[in-house]
Amino acid sequence: MPFVLPQKVDKTETGFEMDFLKSNPNDPGSFVSVGTIEAKVEEIDDDGSKILFLRGYGDVRVPKKLVDVPIVMQTMPNAIKRAITVSMP
């Protein structure tokens, strides 16, 4: 799937962080993050119940500012369904 903005994805202990990158005006040839989507599984009760949180930071929260965000978010339901299927014993 082609994207307009470069991305950097880092695996975290319970999920991932996806950064949308733009050229760094202060350092030609390098990139800076202008927005992040974080997916993280967190425990919500003492009984061990867990929930998947999706959070947006930076320009991800500004509608239509980063053209790739809607495309990425549209893929999330299928990715979540596949992750649940794969995690089942």
The residues spanned by each domain of the chain are 7-87
- The whole-angstrom separation of Cα 3 and Cα 20 is 10
- Condensed to tens digits (0 to 9), the pLDDT of residues 30-80 reads 999 999 999 998 888 888 788 888 999 999 999 999 999 999 999 889 888
- The whole-angstrom separation of Cα 58 and Cα 60 is 5
Q: Please compute Rg for the chain using Cα positions.
A: 15
- Kindly tell me if the per-residue pLDDT of 3 is higher than 90: no
pLDDT at 4: 87
pTM assigned to the model: 0.82
- The whole-angstrom separation of Cα 76 and Cα 64 is 18
